[in-house]
C-alpha cells in the first residue's frame, strides 16, 4: 500500500541538456520562491561540466507542473515546469555553455567561464592566461553558441596549433559539443501535491549538495505558506537584502504589484536611495539578528519548530515585528552610522560579519528598551570593537549569541555585562602580551591591522608623511600600502621571505605619489633627506613642512622615531617589536575612548 501512495507522488522521464536549456530560454522551466540564489562557486561549475563530459551520473532534476505558484520572478506560474531541485545544475549549464549571467547570493549578475584543454582533456576556471595560450579553448560557451559551426571551431583550433593531432582534437571537441545530447533524469511531481509537501521534498533532497542551512529551510518554509503573511515576510527579507545590495533593482522589485502594495514594501522603499555599502546583509544575517533580538536565543535552528505547532501564530507575530524593526529606516541608518563612527568606514575593513550581526542585535534590543540614543551609541560601538578584538563570534557563534543575549537582557543589563566581559577578555595580559602576538602577522586583512587603521580614522590622523590628506580619505580613494622598510631593500639585506618583509608593523597608508617617490629608498636614507629638506626648504617626500609636523605624523603612525636619531632603522626586527608596542597602545587608547 505504501508503495502505491509513493508512486502517485511523481513520474520519471529524461530530457537532453539541449532540451533543458531550450526550456530555460523559453521560460518553460521557472524557479519558485522556495528556491535559493545561485550559490555554486566557479570550481563547482567546472566539476559539473567535467562530470557531464566524462558521462558521470549527475543526479535527477525535480520539476512540478503546477499553476498559481509564486515564483522568484514576482509572478505566478501558469503551466511551466517549476524547478524544485536542480537550480544550481541548470544555472551552471546556462552560464557555462551559453555564456549567460546568473544572479548570485549577493544579488549581482555574474558569469562563470570555463576553459577546456582538448589535448589533456581537462577543464579549468577561465583565467587571463588561458586566452593567451592557444592550446586552451578559453571559454567553452564559444563551442555551444558559435554561428559558424563546429567544423570551423575545430579548424580554428588546429590552425592556431599546427603541431596537434587533428583527429584527437576533433574527437575531444566533438565530445565537448556532445554534452548538449547528454540525457538528464527528471522527476516530475504530481500537480495535485500541496505546496507544503513540495517544500518538504525540496528541503529533504537538499540535505546533500550545497548544504541546506537553517535559514534556507526557514525561507523555503515561509515561502510555501500564506498563514500569518509568512510568504510576504519571506519576500520582505529577500527584497530588503536585494535592495540593500542593489538599490537600482527597485523598479524590478516594484513590478511585484501584490507585494508592492503591502506595508512591508513601503517599510523598505527608502532603500531605493541608499548608497552605503559598508555593510550589506544577506538573508542569513537578517534572520539571525531578528531571531536573536526577538526570541532571546542564539541558534537560528531553534526557529524551525516554532514555525509549526502550538506556537506558530505567536512566532510569526514576533518575527513580523522583528523584521519591521530591522527594516525601519531610522534604525538601519543609525546602526550603520554607529559602525562608521568607530572608524570602520570601508567594506574592506570589516571581516567579522558575526560581530556586526550581534552589534545589530544589541542595537535593536536597546532601542526596544528605550535606552538613550547616546548610551546606545556608546554601548554598541564598544561591543562591536570588543568582539572584533577578541574574535568573540569566530567559528560557530550560536552558543555565544545565546549567552550574550541572555546577559544583556538580564537584570545585570548590557552596560554591566559588557564591563564584566572587558575585565576578563581585555585584561592587562591581552593588551601587553596577546595583542602583540596578534600584530605579529603579514596578513593585511588581519582584524588587528584594520583595527589600527580604524583608530587612525577615529583620531583623524593624516596619511604617512602627509600634512593634509586624512587616512579616512586614503582608505576611500587609493589605499596605497607602503613598506616603511621597502621590500627590495629588505631582500638585499638578506630578509627574503615575503611574510617577514610584509609584517603589518612594517606597513603604513599613504598617498600613491609619495609612495612612488619613496620607491626602494632605505628608511634611514629618506628620513635623513626629510631632515635635510626641512633645513633647505625642499620637500621631496610628502608635504610636511617642519620637524614638528614630522614628529606628529610619526606619532600618529606609531613609528618609533622622534625625527632625530635614525638608529632605530638599523635593526629591522627591533623596529618591528617597538612599533608593535606603539600600535597596541594606540588601539588600547582608541578602544577606551569609544
- For the chain, the 3-state helix, strand and coil shares in percent, each to the nearest 5, are 60, 10, 30
Report the alpha-carbon distance of residue 483 to residue 480 in Å, rounded.
Answer: 10
Q: What is the pLDDT of residues 270-299, one digit of tens each?
A: 999 999 989 999 989 999 999 999 999 999
Element (H, E) at 116: strand 114-117
Q: How far apart are CA 324 and CA 196, in angstroms?
A: 25
Give the pLDDT of residue 4. Answer: 43
pLDDT reported for residue 5 = 44
For 509-556, how does the pLDDT look when each residue is reduced to its tens digit (9 = 90+)? 998 888 888 889 999 998 888 888 887 777 677 788 888 999 999 999
The pLDDT, as a whole number, for residue 199 is 60
Burial of 89 (0-12, 13-18, 19+ CB in 10 A): buried
CB-based contact 527:561 (threshold 8 Å): yes
pLDDT tens per residue, range 472-509? 998 865 567 889 999 999 999 999 999 999 999 999 99
Q: What is the mean pLDDT of each run of 10 residues along the chain (594 residues)?
A: 50 86 80 66 92 85 64 50 78 91 80 95 94 94 86 92 93 94 83 64 53 69 74 89 90 87 95 93 93 94 82 91 97 97 92 94 96 96 97 90 96 95 95 95 90 96 92 77 92 93 94 87 89 77 85 94 84 96 97 95
The pLDDT value given to residue 507 = 95
At 594 the three-state DSSP class reads: coil
Please tell me the predicted confidence (pLDDT) of residue 61. Answer: 81
pLDDT of 189 reads: 77
Inter-residue contact 114 to 139 (CB < 8 Å): yes
Contact 386, 591 (CB under 8 A): yes
Q: Map grid coordinates 512566532 to a residue.
A: 315
Look at residues 587, 509, 511, 526 and name the one whose alpha carbon lies nearest to residue 561: 526
Whether 491 contacts 433, CB under 8 Å: no
Nearest to 505 by CA among 432, 434, 442: 442
Bridge-based pairing state of the strands 480-483 and 507-510? antiparallel
- Crossing angle of helices 214-223 and 283-295, rounded to 10°: 90
Rounded Cα distance between 80 and 23, Å, is 9
Report the sign of the C-alpha dihedral through residues 531, 473, 440, 518, in that order.
negative
- Determine contact, residues 256/264, Cβ cutoff 8 Å: no
Grid cell 575545430 is found at 154
Determine the 3-state secondary structure of 266 from DSSP: helix
Q: What is the pLDDT of residue 236?
A: 93
Phi, psi of 507 (to 5 degrees): -115, 145
- At 537 the three-state DSSP class reads coil
Question: What pLDDT sits at residue 147?
Answer: 76
> CB–CB of 57/175 below 8 Å?
no
**What kind and span of H or E run contains 183?**
strand 183-189
Amino acid at each position: 500500500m505504501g508503495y502505491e501512495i509513493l508512486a502517485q507522488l511523481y513520474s520519471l522521464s529524461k530530457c537532453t541538456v539541449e532540451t533543458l536549456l531550450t526550456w530555460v530560454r523559453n521560460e518553460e522551466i521557472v524557479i519558485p520562491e522556495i528556491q535559493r540564489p545561485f550559490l555554486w562557486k566557479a570550481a563547482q561549475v567546472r566539476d559539473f561540466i567535467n562530470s557531464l563530459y566524462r558521462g558521470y551520473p549527475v543526479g535527477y532534476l525535480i520539476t512540478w507542473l503546477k499553476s498559481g505558484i509564486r515564483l522568484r520572478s514576482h509572478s505566478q506560474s501558469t503551466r511551466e515546469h517549476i524547478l524544485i531541485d536542480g537550480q544550481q545544475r541548470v544555472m551552471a549549464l546556462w552560464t557555462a555553455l551559453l555564456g549567460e549571467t546568473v544572479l548570485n547570493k549577493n544579488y549581482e549578475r555574474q558569469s562563470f567561464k570555463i576553459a577546456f584543454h582538448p589535448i589533456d582533456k581537462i577543464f579549468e576556471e577561465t583565467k587571463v592566461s588561458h586566452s593567451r595560450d592557444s592550446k586552451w579553448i578559453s571559454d567553452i560557451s564559444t563551442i555551444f553558441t558559435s554561428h559558424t559551426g563546429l567544423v570551423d571551431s575545430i579548424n580554428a583550433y588546429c590552425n592556431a596549433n599546427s603541431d596537434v593531432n587533428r583527429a584527437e582534437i576533433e574527437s575531444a571537441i566533438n565530445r565537448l559539443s556532445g554534452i548538449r545530447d547528454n540525457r538528464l533524469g527528471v522527476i516530475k511531481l504530481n500537480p495535485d501535491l500541496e505546496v507544503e509537501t513540495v517544500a518538504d521534498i525540496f528541503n529533504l533532497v537538499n540535505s546533500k549538495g550545497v548544504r541546506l542551512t537553517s535559514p534556507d529551510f526557514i525561507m523555503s518554509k515561509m515561502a510555501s505558506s500564506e498563514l500569518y503573511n509568512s510568504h510576504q515576510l519571506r519576500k520582505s527579507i529577500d527584497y530588503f537584502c536585494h535592495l540593500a545590495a542593489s538599490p537600482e533593482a527597485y523598479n524590478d522589485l516594484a513590478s511585484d504589484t501584490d507585494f508592492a502594495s503591502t506595508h512591508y514594501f513601503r517599510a523598505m522603499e527608502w532603500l531605493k536611495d541608499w548608497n552605503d555599502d559598508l555593510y550589506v546583509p544577506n538573508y542569513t544575517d537578517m534572520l539571525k539578528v531578528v531571531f536573536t533580538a526577538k526570541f532571546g536565543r542564539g541558534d537560528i535552528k531553534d526557529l524551525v519548530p516554532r514555525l509549526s505547532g502550538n506556537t506558530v501564530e505567536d512566532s510569526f507575530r514576533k518575527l513580523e515585528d522583528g523584521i519591521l524593526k530591522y527594516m525601519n529606516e531610522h534604525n538601519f541608518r543609525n546602526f550603520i552610522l554607529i559602525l562608521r563612527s568607530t572608524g570602520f568606514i570601508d567594506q574592506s575593513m570589516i571581516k567579522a560579519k558575526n560581530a556586526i550581526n550581534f552589534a545589530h542585535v544589541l542595537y535593536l534590543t536597546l532601542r526596544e528598551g528605550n535606552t538613550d540614543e547616546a548610551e546606545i551609541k556608546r554601548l554598541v560601538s564598544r561591543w562591536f570593537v570588543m568582539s572584533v578584538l577578541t574574535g568573540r563570534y569566530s567559528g560557530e557563534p550560536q552558543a555565544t549569541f545565546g549567552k550574550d543575549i541572555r546577559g544583556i537582557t538580564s537584570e545585570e543589563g548590557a552596560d554591566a555585562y559588557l564591563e564584566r566581559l572587558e575585565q576578563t577578555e581585555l585584561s592587562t595580559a591581552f593588551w601587553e602580551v596577546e595583542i602583540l602576538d596578534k600584530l605579529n602577522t603579514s596578513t593585511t586583512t588581519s582584524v588587528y591591522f584594520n583595527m589600527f587603521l580604524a583608530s587612525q580614522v577615529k583620531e583623524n590622523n593624516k596619511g604617512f608623511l602627509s600634512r593634509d590628506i586624512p587616512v579616512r580619505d586614503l582608505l576611500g580613494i587609493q589605499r596605497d600600502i607602503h613598506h616603511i622598510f621597502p621590500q627590495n631593500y629588505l631582500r638585499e639585506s638578506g630578509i627574503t621571505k615575503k611574510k617577514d618583509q610584509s609584517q603589518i608593523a612594517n606597513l603604513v597608508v599613504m598617498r600613491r605619489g609619495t609612495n612612488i617617490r619613496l620607491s626602494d629608498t632605505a628608511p634611514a636614507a629618506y628620513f635623513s633627506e626629510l631632515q635635510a629638506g626641512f633645513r633647505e626648504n625642499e620637500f621631496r617626500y610628502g608635504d610636511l613642512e617642519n620637524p614638528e609636523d614630522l614628529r606628529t605624523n610619526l606619532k600618529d603612525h606609531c613609528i618609533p622615531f622622534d625625527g632625530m636619531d635614525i638608529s632605530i632603522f638599523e635593526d629591522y626586527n627591533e623596529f618591528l617589536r617597538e612599533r608593535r608596542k606603539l600600535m597596541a597602545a594606540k588601539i588600547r587608547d582608541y578602544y577606551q575612548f569609544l
